[in-house]
Chains A and B, each alone.
Chain A
Amino acid sequence: MPPSRSGARDIERYAGLFARRTQVMKSSAMRDLMAVTARPEVISLAGGLPDTSTFPAEDFSALMARVGADDAARALQYGPTEGLDEVKGPIMEVMAAEGMEVEPDDLLVTTGGQQVIDLVCKTLIDPGDVVIAEAPTYPGAAPVFVSYQADVLQIEMDEDGMRIDVLEQELERLDREGRAPKFIYTVPSFQNPAGVTLSLERRRRLVDIAHRRELLVLEDNPYGMLRYEGEPLPTLYTLDGAEFVIYLGTFSKILSPGLRLGWCAAPRPVLDKLNLGKGAADLCSSPLSQLFVRRYFDERDWLAYVGKLTGVYRRRRDIMLEALAEHFPREATWTRPQGGLFIWAKLPDFIDTTDLLARALRDHVAFVPGRAAYLDGRGGTEMRLNFSGVSDDAIREGVRRIGEVIREQLALYGRLTGAEPAPSRASEPAREAPASHAPAAEAPDSQVLPLRRKAG
């Protein structure tokens, strides 16, 4: 058969049309693997979903009916780009509950918190600009950074959140290279995915760095209200006095992600630019959702609902922590979040959690492999576990199954290296006492995370 150059046509037909920035958008292995996690027989600890079944259906329908009866024309109409005045009251109430005072004009209503990340990148990032994030970072932020061709520098964390000393070293290194980051992205409270919280002292230092260097900080705070223990900490936005912090809030975790309503509060010049970007992106966020939120805040007790969620999630967190202590081998470590939706676990460095997921899926259980939370290839031995969107029994059973496959791999590794084979779960004595053994050796390039055994 005569060869012909036209063969490349099918692939090149579209490839030639794509923007250069799409070439760095990766995903398919993880996406294909994650697609399997969505099958109904799989217990998925991979999600990040709030439990919307806790919201009373009769409240939803009654409030929606009121919106329809009183405000149909406006609910069905376009709204202002910055958001309806009606929804700014509830936003101010939520921010006040976390100790923040803002004016309506400080706010931009957005289509979920995710849009804020996108708009901030759109507004601040030229290709090659540096963004600083935590290591690991929110897996949903990674594709945004990548699509704007940001150069992402991830700063390791410990149990008090981002290591500010490491941040300072990195900033100095960038200084020497003549570069400065455009902004620092952080989830200071109950971080996604690591579950840790930035300490007050570090919050102060971070804000101080932002002031000294005139750097913007994007404070992503979806979980602040979901605290299960300990005292609330002031937000970076409060500590900063609204000078260098862009604050991101959302109704997704305290009410509903289906509403697609988030917001940001930012210094006015920044807010004006974000507003222009928002107009270009989608003109406005759903007035229907905004009017619903207004009704909800007027006619129901939103704090009581958050209290109910907090109760459910605290119980599920405790169940997951118990299950981890029971079923995960002693070589594993994990975080103990005071709030939020996630626990971050770390396995010995010879276990690859992407491959482990493939194995775990055969036993119908899923988690998020750690690599999803890094842009630099790290995270291969780590995993994110969600406890908010899964029933109590599914948490126990899911963790049990994951523990089983980890043990299987540990035993095999032991056999391959001639080390003492790991004892099988059945023959292992119950471990009630606080574990005192040393954690597995860390790979030199791995970051140090808040790794704790079970609650003392």
Chain B
Amino acid sequence: MKVAVLKGGDSLERQVSLRSGARVEDALDRLGHEVVAVDVGPDLVDRLGAERPDVAFVALHGRGGEDGTVQELLELLGIPYTASGPSACMRCMDKVVAKHALRDAGVPTPDFYAFSQAAFEELGAARALPAIEERLDFPIVVKPAGQGSALGIKFAATADDVPGAIVAAFSYDTKVLLERHVAGRDLAVSVLEGPDGPEALPIVEAVPQDESFYDFESRYEIGRTRFICPADLPDAVAERARELALESYRVLGCYGFARVDLMLDSASGELTVLEANVIPGLTDTSLLPLAAEAAGIGFDALIARVLELALARAPA
């Protein structure tokens, strides 16, 4: 089968995407497919038109790849593609939309408030900050709504830190999120569709080695963060985490695979969902492949399954 691997692009996660894409290409090659590597740029439609792939493997992270743009285009071109469709991508890429959807469906997510740049520019939203600060308690986490990595995420320890953190977050997006900080353990639950529907894979715990924050750098770097899979958790907690991940996957309308990030509050023992990633990293240090392997699914088998799912969804 002719498979186009879409990777790169011009998002800030370009490098990670290139690494994910290269690894997927190797796997597809081993699986006997004809691989067309596509570094996504202005010639994307022309290239897909010329190559006429049977299916596209989306290995793009961040803006453009993970936000539904490319998926919409692939629908238009009638090319089957891996993982979630446009609407799930849009919901997950925008943390604010995702958190609203989760909260509406009763999935616990840390309390939050979100603002667009226009709210500050035109509606005087700055006046509302003290009330938010009172309700969320410090420290507050400030995030850009649509940045896939941890770039731009800041902790505000006091009210004085909030404006600077908001300015930083607006460097990445026109919408920012102020979220209650959960002190606790950082869990990632990968979801992969099996014969009987979505299944939660073994839980990965990310334990930062030398930073107070599991940050963008350590996320992709061997040695900076220790990953424990399966995470050492009481059965009931692990079960609950998997349930929440599956529920989030359903609520957000994901397809194929996704990775759901959760926090386990050290003080209360409460689990909350932070976000879902529709195109999780597939590099050799990424969490979803790690979880799949822990479940006995090697990387090639993982890629093969995701590809089958893409074809299964394709209209006849």
| Residues of chain B in range 242-301 having any CB-CB distance to chain A below 8 Å | 284-285, 289-297, 299
The reply to whether the CB of B106 lies closer than 8 angstroms to some CB of chain A is: no
What is the bound-complex CA distance between A11 and B289, given in angstroms?
10
Q: Which residue of B lies closest to A358 (CB)?
A: B171
- Contacting residue for A359 out of B10, B120, B171, B222, CB 8 A: B171
Q: Is A416 an interface residue (CB 8 A)?
A: yes
Is the C-beta of A417 less than 8 angstroms from some C-beta in chain B?
A: yes
A404 at the binding interface (Cβ < 8 Å): no
Say how far B250's CB is from chain A's closest CB, in angstroms: 19
In angstroms, Cα B152 to Cα A409, docked, is: 14
Partner of A416, one of B16, B151, B166: B166
Binary interface encoding of chain A residues 21-37 relative to chain B, with 1 for a CB under 8 A from any of its CBs, else 0: 01100111101110110
Q: Is A276 an interface residue (CB 8 A)?
A: no
Q: For A10, A23, A359, which residue has the most chain B Cβ atoms within 10 angstroms?
A: A10
Q: Tell me which residues across on chain A come within 8 A of B12, comparing CB atoms.
A: 32-33, 36, 358, 361
Tier of interface size on chain B: 35 or more
> When chains A and B are docked, how far (Å) is the Cα of A6 from the Cα of B230?
10
**Cβ distance A371 to chain B, nearest Cβ, rounded Å:** 11
Over the window 128-163 of chain B, the binary record of Cβ atoms lying under 8 Å from chain A Cβ atoms (1 yes, 0 no) is 010000000000000000000101101000000011
Stretch in contact with the other chain, from B93-101, B213-221, B305-313 = B213-221
**B87 lies within 8 A of chain A by Cβ:** no
The smallest beta-carbon distance between A38 and chain B, in angstroms, is: 10
Q: A11 touching B172 by the CB < 8 A rule?
A: no
Q: Are A417 and B290 in contact (CB under 8 A)?
A: no
Contact status of A412 and B215, CB under 8 A, knowing A7-B230, A15-B223, A350-B163: no
| B222–A11 touching, CB < 8 Å | yes
Contact of B220 among A28, A359, A415 (CB under 8 A): A28
Return the contact of A413 from the options B129, B164, B294 (Cβ within 8 A): B164
Residues of B within 8 A of A416 (CB): 120, 126, 129, 162-163, 166-167
User: A6 to chain B: which residues have CB within 8 Å?
Assistant: 293-294
Q: Is the interface of A mostly helix, strand, loop or mixed?
A: helix
Contacts of A10 in B (CB 8 A): 284, 289-290, 293, 299
Cβ of B194 to closest chain A Cβ, rounded Å = 8
Contacts of B172 in A (CB 8 A): 355, 358-359
Give the number of residues in A that approach B within 8 Å (Cβ atoms): 43
Bound-state CA distance A15–B227 (Å) is: 12
A32 touches B168 (CB 8 A): no
Q: Write out the residue numbers on chain B whose beta carbons fall within 8 Å of the beta carbon of A2.
A: 295-296
A15, B299: Cβ atoms under 8 Å?
A: no
Q: Does B21 contact A (CB under 8 A)?
A: no
**Given A350-B164, A412-B167, CB of A1 within 8 Å of CB of B295:** yes
Chain B hits for A350, CB < 8 A: 163-164, 167
28 inter-chain pairs at a CB distance below 8 angstroms, sorted by A residue, are A2-B296, A3-B202, A3-B229, A4-B294, A4-B295, A5-B294, A7-B291, A8-B229, A10-B289, A10-B293, A11-B290, A14-B222, A23-B224, A26-B224, A28-B15, A31-B15, A32-B216, A36-B10, A36-B14, A350-B163, A355-B168, A355-B169, A358-B171, A409-B167, A409-B170, A409-B171, A412-B167, A416-B126
B interface residues, Cβ below 8 angstroms from A: 10, 12-16, 117, 120-121, 126, 129, 149, 151-152, 154, 162-164, 166-172, 199, 201-202, 209, 215-217, 220-224, 227-230, 284-285, 289-297, 299
